[in-house]
Copies of this chain bind each other. A is one copy, B any other.
């Protein structure tokens, strides 16, 4: 989970995912094209994406083809989105309740 979020928390890596989204099966050198960074820099980012399982690879001779792997995001993030959506619904009543409750001048701030 940490790995996935961490991997996505970087513009360069999101850009690489964008590229793989447009066209899968690109090699390192393909992905380096027009990228403002050394080849090794890109390789490191791809390594992080692989480790997060957001990119899967397929060796073919001496070239390593990269593919976007949609599974972990679907699995892991979906849970969080669902959670936050529950919270969103709850927030409509909850937030107001809690603010009002906490606004009672003195203590008694613990909400029921």
Contact with B along A34-51 (1 / 0, CB 8 A): 000000000000000000
- The oligomer's copy count stands at 2
B6, A94: Cβ atoms under 8 Å? Answer: no
Q: Inside 8 A of A1's CB, which chain B residues have their CB?
A: 14
Which residues of chain A in 1-56 are interfacial with respect to chain B, using CB atoms and an 8 Å cutoff? 1-2, 5-6, 8-11, 14, 21, 23-25
A interface: dominant SS:
helix
On chain A, the number of residues with a Cβ less than 8 Å from chain B's Cβ atoms is 47
Instruction: Sort A-B residue pairs by CB-CB distance and give the 4 closest, nearest first.
Output: A25-B98, A5-B9, A70-B88, A6-B9
A residues touching B (Cβ–Cβ < 8 Å)? Answer: 1-2, 5-6, 8-11, 14, 21, 23-25, 58, 60-61, 63, 65, 67-71, 73-74, 77-78, 80-81, 83-85, 87-88, 91, 94-95, 98-99, 101-103, 106-107, 109-111
